[in-house]
């Protein structure tokens, strides 16, 4: 990905590639669109470490954003998602559900350009340009960080039979990347949150995922704000996170039991 105002491109190539999407408003999102387009249509982006670009920031804009900057950004990014992300655009809408209500205009000419240039599908981009990105699959109903205020559920670097805790959210995936699956597992790679005993105060550990293990079955309740262990009807709780890791406790309105996934993929 490039920053919108900080890139250099040959003029002839820029024109061959289709210039800017002239149906986007003002600015915002055009850097995503042109980055996807370059990669998917046969080009590449390079970061040149010793380059210098001057950028003048004004105290105020000499122009307006129709409907507000949020609406403009949603329109522009929605156009980019509709043209370039194929079926993966559903993850964009899961992350920005309000964008569904923002008109994005006609994209027929952009789709024709995409076909004329012989551009690759977004799946190709994920597999060849950004293969290290973990993308939700069809089994996931929620995905990403599991957040509680400014902290997130974290493996703390532990593996099988290790306890889990919370750590300041860093938005970089890794130890804080989780998925709630259709079979009711909360997974980190091939490890699942497992209740040691079905009693209040029981520790949560990471163990290898097993399809029919009732100790590993969880569900979201109360508008997806809590995780309840289905075998005990107890809720995931962080009150003991500093001393002994996460536990399950009697469900309550306590903030220690409030959890939110980055993306909820259920309709």
Domains of the chain (ranges plus CATH)?
11-128 (1.10.8.460), 140-264 (2.80.10.50)
Q: Which residues pair with 142 in a beta bridge?
A: 180, 264
Question: Against a cut of 0.75, is the pTM above it?
Answer: no
Q: What is the pLDDT of residues 108-153, one digit of tens each?
A: 999 999 999 999 999 999 999 999 888 888 889 999 999 999 999 9
Would you tell me how many other CB atoms lie within 10 Å of the CB of residue 117?
A: 15
In this prediction, residues 156-160 reach a mean pLDDT of 90
Q: Which of 201, 198, 202, 178 is nearest to 190 (CA)?
A: 178
Q: 267 vs 96, which has greater pLDDT?
A: 96
Determine if residue 80 is left, alpha or beta; phi over 0 gives left, psi from -120 to 50 gives alpha, anything else beta.
alpha
175-233 confidence digits (pLDDT tens): 999 999 999 999 999 999 999 999 999 999 999 999 899 999 999 998 889 999 999 99
> Which helix (H) or strand (E) is 33 found in, with range?
helix 30-40
């Amino acid at each position: 990905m490039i920053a919108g105002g900080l890139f250099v491109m040959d003029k002839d190539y820029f024109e061959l590639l289709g210039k800017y999407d002239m149906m986007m408003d003002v600015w915002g999102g055009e850097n995503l669109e042109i980055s996807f387009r370059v990669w998917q249509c046969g080009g590449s982006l390079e970061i040149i470490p010793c380059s210098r670009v001057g950028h003048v920031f004004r105290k105020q804009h000499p122009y307006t954003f129709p409907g507000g900057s949020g609406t403009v950004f949603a329109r522009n990014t929605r156009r980019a998602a509709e043209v370039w992300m194929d079926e993966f655009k559903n993850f964009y809408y899961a992350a920005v559900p309000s964008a569904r209500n923002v008109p994005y205009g006609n994209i027929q000419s952009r789709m024709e350009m995409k076909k004329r240039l012989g551009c690759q599908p977004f799946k190709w981009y994920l597999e060849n340009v950004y293969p290290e990105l973990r993308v939700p699959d069809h089994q996931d109903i929620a995905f990403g960080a599991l957040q509680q205020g400014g902290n997130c559920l974290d493996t703390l670097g532990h593996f099988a039979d290790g306890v889990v805790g919370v750590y300041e959210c860093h938005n970089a995936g890794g130890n804080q990347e989780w998925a709630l699956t259709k079979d009711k597992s909360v997974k980190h790679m091939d490890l699942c949150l497992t209740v040691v005993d079905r009693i209040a105060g029981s520790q949560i550990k990471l163990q290898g995922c097993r399809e029919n293990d009732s100790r590993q079955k969880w569900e979201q309740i109360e508008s997806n704000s809590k995780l309840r262990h289905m075998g005990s009807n107890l809720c995931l709780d962080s009150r003991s996170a500093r001393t002994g890791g996460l536990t399950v406790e009697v469900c309550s309105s306590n903030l220690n039991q409030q959890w939110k996934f980055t993306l909820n993929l259920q309709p």
